[in-house]
Amino acid sequence: MACYKFYYCLLAALCLCSFGSYAQKKLPQQNTLFTAGHATAFIGGLYDAYYPYSKLKQHGDFGLGAPDKLDGELLVLDGRVYQTQHTGKTFEVKDTELTPFSVVNFFRTDKTFKTKVQLTKDKLYSYLDSVMPNQNGIYAIRIKGAFNTIKTRAFPPVTKKPYIPLADMLPLQKFFTFNNIKGTLVGYRIPAFMDGPNITGYHFHFLSDDKQKGGHIIDLLADDITIEIDQMDSFTVDLPQTNDFNNFDFKKDRREEVKRVENGKKN
């Protein structure tokens, strides 16, 4: 393990253009990870939206989430909200529309790293671990550059209630593979103690530079990327004031379901 860490420290050092830069001073309210909705409830089938994008933008200019009735995947970049449907169609949503679950923050770069070494998803995550050593830190991560391969998925919309849990929707997800594509990964590394309101570990969505392609990251091969990191020091969870939420059973253990949803694997 120690040896493994050393390799990635070395890799970090070898990325000659790696540098740390402490950017503009953040206001306290800009250093909070804001969640509209609750991940456990969402994964359990609460796909009906309740939180307007106009209000979401007051809590962040960067993030990811889900559209109303699970109609694809959502990404927030530079203050704009994009939806990628299961058809692959990607477009900007209207401020008046609503989300059932989204995670946003005001992205203010704490540190920047550049790497030109080809990295698989696992190697990228290990590299990120090496530059984010605080296991209990909440990190927002923006990765922009050229990718050899990006594999994403998007869910089709649900149509009638009661909705089935997200893990049971996995056979219906659609996959997309993009080669030699430029774009941005928007995501987070969420610490273990946020399991429940959020999803722990790495979680990325993708948007191509031409804003025409996107989805939830399943796999990737990075060629030449710039990684920006923003560490937060607090989190806020907004709870849906709905009957569905009030009656949701939070005592059921859904950890296995969450893992399957993140990996996009049916079993």
Return residues touching its own copies (CB under 8 A).
Answer: 32, 38, 40-41, 134-138, 191-193, 195-197, 233-239, 241, 245-248, 250-251
Residue 250 sits at the vertex; the CA angle it makes with 244 and 251, to the nearest 5 degrees, is 140
Min dist. Cβ of residue 57 to its own copies (A): 15
Minimum CB separation of residue 240 from its own copies in Å reads 9
- Tell me the three state secondary structure of residue 181: strand
Rounded least distance, CB 191 to its own copies, Å: 7
Rounded to a whole number of angstroms, the minimum distance from the CB of residue 214 to its own copies is 28
For residue 210, the one-letter residue type is D
Q: Considering beta carbons, is residue 223 or 238 the nearer one to its own copies?
A: 238
Minimal distance in Å, beta carbon 118 to its own copies? Answer: 32
Q: What is the 3-state secondary structure (H, E, C) of 102-152?
A: EEEECCCCCEEEEECCCEEHHHHHHHHHHHCCCCCCEEEEEEEEEEEEEEE
Question: Which CB atom, from 39 or from 207, has the smaller least distance to its own copies?
Answer: 39
Judged by CB, which is closer to its own copies: 133, or 171?
133
Q: Specify the DSSP class assigned to residue 267.
A: -
The enclosing H or E element of 171 equals none
Of 136 and 159, the one with the shorter C-beta distance to its own copies is: 136
Query: Hey, what are 141's tokens?
Result: 């991560």
The residues, any chain, with a CB within 8 Å of residue 47's CB and separated by 6 or more, are 66, 68, 69, 70, 100, 158, 163
Cβ closest to its own copies, residue 175 vs residue 193: 193
